[in-house]
Structure formats: C-alpha cells, structure tokens
Amino acid sequence: MSLPEASKVTIETFKFQFRSNYRELLRLIARLPAKEQPEAFKEARNTVRSRKNEEDPQKKLDYFKELASKIGYLRMVTPRRPRDSERGSGRYVIRDGKLVEGDGGSKGSRVADGSISMNEAQERNRRDFKRFFGKDKPSNVFF
C-alpha cells in the first residue's frame, strides 16, 4: 500500500470515528433537560461546522480530543433514562458464589421467605464473613 492510500485509510477511519462520536454527543445532549437542549444543540452544530474544513492534522486531533472530553463530561452529568442501555455496562451481582447478571434489588435466598433454612443461612453467613474479612467469624460476638 502506497503512502497516499495509507493516509486515505486513516483519514476515512478518523472521519468515521468523528461522526460516531458526534452522534453520541447529540444523543447525550438529547438527554439534557428541555430548557438546555436547544442551546447545546446549536453550540455543537456550529462548532463542528466551523471546524469542518480544518487542514492541520494536529488541530483536528485537538478538536477530536475536545469532542471526546465533552462526551465524557455529558456522560457524567446527564441523567440516564431507564430505556437507555450503555455499551459495555450491565448489572451484575454475586448469587450463590457466582457472578450473574441481574439486579441487587431482586430477592435472593432468604430465611424470611422460606427459600433457605436458618442453618443454611448461618452457614452462608460464616462463608461470606470469611470471604469478605479473610478470617473465620468469631464465636463470641456481642453487639
């Protein structure tokens, strides 16, 4: 592959990544409160359009870094909607010593609902104590 062909590939890859990040920025702006959205959309569009014809690769890279930082900031400050599923995230809990996908709020094994006996619950408590604190549970605990 000659140099012009190699640079064309990297330019196309950069354009794809930039468009992908720009779309993510717009999705995050859409999650902002309604009164903040119009101004944020306008600022994002105007900034990207004004920098569209930049030729300097270093400035392009700086603009890309700025876009990534804005996305990171918006991920922290925008509220998530329940239907939004973020890539690479999930809810995982440990049940019966195994990591499973689920929610910590759902009911597990409990003596109160009759799903396990009192002896099983005490054994599980001793096992978890050792796992969490690295030593056996003391037999004479007063509190």
Instruction: Give the tens place of pLDDT for each residue, 122-141.
Output: 888 888 888 888 888 777 76
Residue 20 pLDDT greater than 70, yes or no: yes
Alpha carbons 51 and 43: distance in angstroms, whole number = 12
DSSP state of 138: P
Q: Structure tokens of 42?
A: 């306008």
Question: Can you give the pLDDT at residue 61?
Answer: 83
Q: β-strands 98-101, 92-95: how paired?
A: antiparallel
Q: Which two structure tokens, joined as six digits, stand for 15?
A: 């354009």
Task: Report in angstroms the alpha-carbon separations of 138 from 24, 107, 121, 127, 132.
Answer: 52, 28, 17, 12, 14
Structure tokens at 28: 């995050």
Q: φ and ψ at 114, to 5 degrees?
A: 80, 10
Beta carbons within 8 Å of 118's beta carbon, 6+ residues apart: 111
Q: Residue 82 contacts by C-beta under 8 Å, 6 or more apart in sequence?
A: none
Is the pTM for the entire model greater than 0.75?
no
Query: Lowest mean pLDDT: which of 2-6, 16-20, 128-132?
Result: 2-6
pLDDT of residue 43: 92
Q: How far apart are CA 131 and CA 123, in angstroms?
A: 12
Can you read off the two tokens belonging to residue 63? 């603009």
